[in-house]
C-alpha cells in the first residue's frame, strides 16, 4: 500500500502488461492491479509511489486500537506501539486478489482459524489464503476458512465479520 492508501503490486491480476507511461495513475479500488507495467511498481498505484512488489515485508496497524499488529505465534494481536521483527509480515500475491501472509516471529504462514489468525503453518492451503481489498484507503482482509472479514479485536485479529467497519480496516506500511 502506498501513502495514498491503495495496494500496489508488481504484477497484473489479469495477466496483462500494458505499458503505462503516466507516473500518476489514479486507479479505483475496483480496478486494482488492472493497469500498469509488470515489475514497474506502478501497477495499482496512486500518485508517485514506489509500490509494493510481493513478496515483500509489510506492517499492519489495527483499526480498533490504532496499534501495530504482531505475530505472537499463537495469534496476531494489534497492541504494539512500534514496529519490531514480530510486527513485520511477508506478503505474497497469489493472484485474483488473494495473498498469503508469513508471520515475523517464526517465519510460518498465517492461517485463518475463524476465532484467530495463527502463524504456525509450513505451507499454503485454503485457510492460509486471504482475499484483500481496499476501503477508505486501508486494507481489508477476508479469511480463507469461512470467507469472513478479519477484524482487530481486543484479544487478537479474527476473521468472523460479515461486513467492513472501522475494526476491519488496516493501515499498511511497507
3-state secondary structure 17-32: CCCCCCCCCCCCHHHC
- The residues facing 118 across adjacent strands are 111
Does one domain contain both 76 and 106?
A: yes
Domain range enclosing 154? 56-173
Cβ-count burial 133-171 (b if 16+ within 10 Å, e if not): bbeebbbbbbbbbeebbbbbbeebbbbbbeebeebbbbb
Provide the pLDDT for residue 14. 33
Provide the pLDDT for residue 20. 31
Does one domain contain both 69 and 37?
A: no
Last residue of a domain, one of 28, 53, 78: 53
Does one domain contain both 160 and 146?
A: yes
Task: Note whether 47 and 27 are within 8 A (CB).
Answer: no
Provide the pLDDT for residue 119. 97
Provide the pLDDT for residue 174. 84
Helix (H) or strand (E) holding 142: strand 138-142
Q: Which pTM value belongs to this model?
A: 0.71
Last residue of a domain, one of 31, 53, 75: 53
Calpha distance 48→59 (Å, rounded): 21
Provide the pLDDT for residue 76. 98
Burial class (CB in 10 A: 0-12, 13-18, 19+), 84: exposed
Does one domain contain both 39 and 26?
A: yes
Provide the pLDDT for residue 53. 53
Number of domains in the chain: 2
pLDDT of the chain, 174 residues: tens digit per residue: 433 344 443 333 333 333 332 222 222 333 333 333 333 332 232 223 333 455 789 999 999 999 999 999 999 999 999 999 999 999 999 999 999 999 999 999 999 999 999 999 999 999 999 999 999 999 999 999 999 999 999 999 999 999 999 999 999 998
Amino acid at each position: 500500500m502506498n501513502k495514498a492508501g491503495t495496494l500496489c503490486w508488481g504484477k497484473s491480476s489479469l495477466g496483462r502488461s500494458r505499458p503505462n507511461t503516466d507516473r500518476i495513475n489514479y486507479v479505483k479500488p475496483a480496478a486494482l492491479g488492472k493497469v500498469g507495467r509488470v515489475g514497474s511498481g506502478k501497477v495499482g498505484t496512486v500518485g508517485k509511489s514506489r509500490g509494493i512488489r510481493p513478496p515483500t515485508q509489510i506492517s499492519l496497524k489495527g483499526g480498533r486500537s490504532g496499534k501495530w499488529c504482531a505475530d505472537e505465534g499463537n495469534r496476531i494481536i494489534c497492541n504494539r506501539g512500534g514496529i519490531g521483527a514480530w510486527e513485520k509480515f511477508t506478503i505474497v500475491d497469489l493472484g485474483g486478489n488473494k495473498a498469503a501472509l508469513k508471520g515475523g516471529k517464526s517465519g510460518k504462514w498465517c492461517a485463518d482459524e475463524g476465532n484467530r489468525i495463527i502463524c504456525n503453518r509450513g505451507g499454503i492451503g485454503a485457510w492460509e489464503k486471504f482475499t484483500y481489498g481496499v476501503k477508505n484507503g486501508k486494507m481489508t482482509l477476508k479469511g480463507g476458512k469461512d470467507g469472513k472479514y478479519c477484524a482487530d479485536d481486543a484479544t487478537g485479529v479474527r476473521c468472523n465479520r460479515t461486513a467492513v467497519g472501522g475494526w476491519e480496516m488496516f493501515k499498511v506500511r511497507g
